[in-house]
Structure 1
């Protein structure tokens, strides 16, 4: 049975959480389970710019498959995003197919034309991996591939100095680089939103074109409040043009609560008008130094970027990030009713 799950139904949500964690750990020894309360807070969060639906596949009265689904309402309203998981003990019984069929109907009901999802493939066999075969057999088409990389911590100071000193020197000609924890001062919030909104436009995404996002100071503050309630610590490094006060670049690290030992790199972006000053490297290293000073016990930083994003690939390789898996984005065209 496929049906929508009420996110306030604690019993069903705990079953959905268990199925998601079991699925996410398959062939991924580095996968860290997320505490239920932290995971549930994400699903229960009300974002005024998009709607969320949780769909479940039931087997003998228990949730064994999950599709976390987002409907953007402030931008890119032609699309629907979903993250699909099936407990490995219940695969091969039609639960994944049933969820995709339900989401295809929902996409059509909403008058949208594209259903998108992403899955992770450890190793190099992108073409032959079962997840890819499953997606293509059900109507999805290739989108783009991201390299998911890990960097062991701590990063040696000599490596930070090697790349950081030259980047800091280049940035210092016209920019100040500062790390903020939890949030940024009000005078920089709109500028940071401007960077967030352009990231999807400038990042390589194959043949899929995105319009700018519609992040606002109100939405961003709500995200920050959510992360504080989850006991996550967000570190935001900004490069600010000294003469204008313009936010030219950012890099965001998120430290999840213990017992996690990892750190998430959630984004690094340099505005197109301010490239060529090593700002990407400058904000990344400023954040890493802040991280290692205040969270010395963490084991690695996890990041991802498109495999054809040459600039960011070179920065990550210089810092010692190594590929552990690929994130494969696929899209399904959905014809109107």
Structure 2
């Protein structure tokens, strides 16, 4: 029986040339895997989006493909930060269902690990996806894998969890993955806004923008983002200049960003923000990004107010949207409650698995 051959995919100069055929085939593999996992392709990159990712100046993105009889049946995407966290590599594995169980995922992962070692990357992070229906079907009495951080564990019975564990990866954390059908009704949004304003008695003013932060708020916005990243253990640099570069990169790739921030009227400073992203060349799905509320302003329903305002802005500018997705740490009870109030329902869990080659035997 023929064995699959793993090779690095050449990124074409453009998507219209004949040389783009393999790239487009690899993108379609990923799309089919998302459909098989989640029942739709909302979480799949479009060719244009992945092409833009391969030209990100802040991250080196490499694609490996597994071929059998000339056909691409699997792929590994390797994302390597270029400015901060330069020991790190994120690996995404996609293998078509027809090729499952043939060792193709293991072969791709081994090739990806060999590649990142050659680039002096010592830490690899792999993501696994677990739809809610699969988790419900797992044997609750069976052995489970505890995450190093957070309260969600995963059943070893899960094929994806078993694959990552057998490959020497440790479960770093697992997050709840939720979906919300759009549009949301104006009555619901109005009621929730009134609730939030009653809680904090009008102590905040909302500011909103699309794609580019107004100069008036840029320094405050960067301060909030940097503080949030440091709380998550990321101590990399972040400045207004880098914000502008990131916004320009998003513009060039076709991505859109919808942001709502809150100003504390007493101090005149921004104390909270939430953002939503839309992929380039895709009009039906959006993704909830981070929501940050300074600790001194917790307990005042400020997170609820800015998320509701941002959903209103989102629907105003992008009425064709049909779904939005969100990821939350399981211990973030307040934000999970806010999402549930907005109509989010659990779609499953995503696991982040880590291997440190400095520690691996």
TM-score by length of 2: 0.81
1:317 is matched with: 340
Question: 1:82, 1:116 within 8 Å by CA — same for their partners in 2?
Answer: yes
Tell which structure's C-alpha radius of gyration is larger: 2
Deviation of 1:92 after TM superposition, in Å, equals 2.8
Corresponding position: 1:197 with 2:226: yes
Task: Please report how far the alpha carbon of residue 285 of structure 1 lies from its aligned counterpart in structure 2 after TM superposition.
Answer: 0.8
Query: What is the rounded CA distance, in whole Å, between the counterparts of 2:11 and 2:198 in structure 1?
Result: 50
- Structure 2, unmatched stretches of 5+, are 13-18, 139-153
Cross-structure match for 2:16: none
Distance 1:34 1:78, change over 3 A: closer
| Map 1:182-331 → 2, pairs under 5 A | 182-202=211-231, 210-256=233-279, 260-331=283-354
Residue 310 of structure 1: how far off its partner (Å): 1.5
Q: 1:181 aligns with which of 205, 210, 215?
A: 210
Corresponding residue number in structure 1 for 2:190: 161
Deviation at 1:323, TM superposition (A): 0.2
Distance (Å, rounded) in 1 between the aligned partners of 2:101 and 2:69:
15
Once the two structures are TM-superposed, the CA of residue 180 in structure 1 deviates from its matched residue by 0.3
Normalising by structure 1, we get a TM-score of 0.86
Matches of 1:98 and 1:268 in 2, distance apart?
38
Q: Is the 8 A contact 2:25 2:72 kept in 1?
A: yes
Task: Report the Cα offset of residue 58 of structure 1.
Answer: 2.8
User: How far has the Cα of 1:172 moved from its partner?
Assistant: 6.4
How far apart in 1 are the matches of 2:83 and 2:334? Answer: 30
Residues 80, 322 of structure 1: alpha-carbon distance in 2 compared, 3 angstrom cutoff: same
Offset at residue 135 of structure 1 (A):
1.0
The separation in 2 between residues aligned to 1:200 and 1:79, in whole angstroms, is: 16
Deviation track 1:217-267 (CA, whole Å, cap 9, x = no partner) reads: 333333333333344331111112345443321111223466642221122
Distance in 1, Cα, partners of 2:316 & 2:125: 39
The runs of 5 or more residues in structure 1 that have no matched partner are: 204-209
- 2:97 counterpart (77, 85, 88): 88
User: SS at the partner of 1:120?
Assistant: strand
1:16-57: CA deviation from partner (whole Å, max 9, x where unpaired)? 21221122221311333543123311222222xx43322222
2: CA distance, partners of 1:256 / 1:164: 27
How much has 1:120 moved relative to structure 2?
1.4
**Equivalent position of 1:35 in the other structure:** 46
Distance (whole Å) between structure 2 residues aligned to residue 171 and residue 91 of structure 1:
53
Higher relative contact order (CA 8 A, sep 6+): 1
Alpha-carbon RMSD across the aligned residues, in angstroms, is: 2.6
Tell me if the contact between 2:54 and 2:60 (Cα under 8 Å) persists in the aligned partners.
Answer: no
Range moving further from structure 2, 167-176 or 111-120 = 167-176
